[in-house]
Amino acid sequence: MKTLTLSRLGMFCVLCLALSFAAHADDEGVDLRALMSAEEFNEAGLDKLSDEELARLGAWFRDNRDKAVTQTRAEVKAEVKAEVEAEVAAAAAAQPAAKPEKPPEEFTARARGFAGWAGKTVFALDNGQVWRQRMPGKFNYSGSANEVKFDKNFMGGWVMEHVESGRTVLVELID
């Protein structure tokens, strides 16, 4: 899609260049051979036109410069907009399933295999959420209590508290 858009944009630029030259051309019109490479001239099929037909086309460019530029800009904008919307729709369709809803402001859960924290500890909860320690710190726990409480702090971050010990650590939701 990007190649298609770039080629359209390139053709638009060539047309604008031709039209800007047309504004400064004499009464006979624009000499398209002077504006394009031989390859571009041939690819556009202009080599099939007679000198008289090319002169008429050049005169048409001169006479319709403003109208053609306005229409072409609008067409390119519409085509680019449609292509961008299609790309956005395709990207949205390719997105993985939505993540679970954000947790409430405060909740409790059980951490699987809870043994405290040390650095970047990851906590898997019984509700399916996965949290990670955000700030350095250590807390070793050898008991069996695994209930943890989560609260949002005044800065909007999350604090996890091990209920039995009362110890807290800053955490972030990762899944």
Do residues 56 and 29 make contact, with C-beta atoms less than 8 angstroms apart?
yes
The confidence score (pLDDT) of residue 26 equals: 47
The confidence score (pLDDT) of residue 10 equals: 56
**Residue 149: strand, helix, or coil:** strand
Helix or strand holding residue 10 (H, E): helix 2-23
**Domain enclosing residue 155, as ranges:** 106-173
The confidence score (pLDDT) of residue 29 equals: 67
pLDDT tens digits for range 98-157:
555 666 788 999 999 899 999 889 999 998 899 999 988 899 998 899 999 999 988 889
Do residues 58 and 107 make contact, with C-beta atoms less than 8 angstroms apart?
no
The confidence score (pLDDT) of residue 110 equals: 94
DSSP 8-state assignment for residue 143: S
The answer on 75 and 17 residing in a single domain is yes
The answer on 76 and 25 residing in a single domain is yes
Domain count, the chain: 2
- Structural domain ending residue among the three candidates 94, 119, 154: 94
pLDDT tens digits for range 45-88:
888 888 888 888 888 877 776 666 666 667 767 776 787 777 77
Q: Does any domain span residue 62?
A: yes
The answer on 159 and 75 residing in a single domain is no
Confidence at 13, pLDDT banded by 50, 70, 90: low
Whether pLDDT at 162 is above 50: yes
Mean pLDDT of 21-26: 48
Whether pLDDT at 159 is above 70: yes
Whole-angstrom distance, CA of residue 110 vs CA of residue 142? 15
The answer on 76 and 50 residing in a single domain is yes
Helix or strand holding residue 22 (H, E): helix 2-23
The confidence score (pLDDT) of residue 175 equals: 76
pTM over 0.75: no
The answer on 125 and 58 residing in a single domain is no
Do residues 170 and 158 make contact, with C-beta atoms less than 8 angstroms apart?
yes
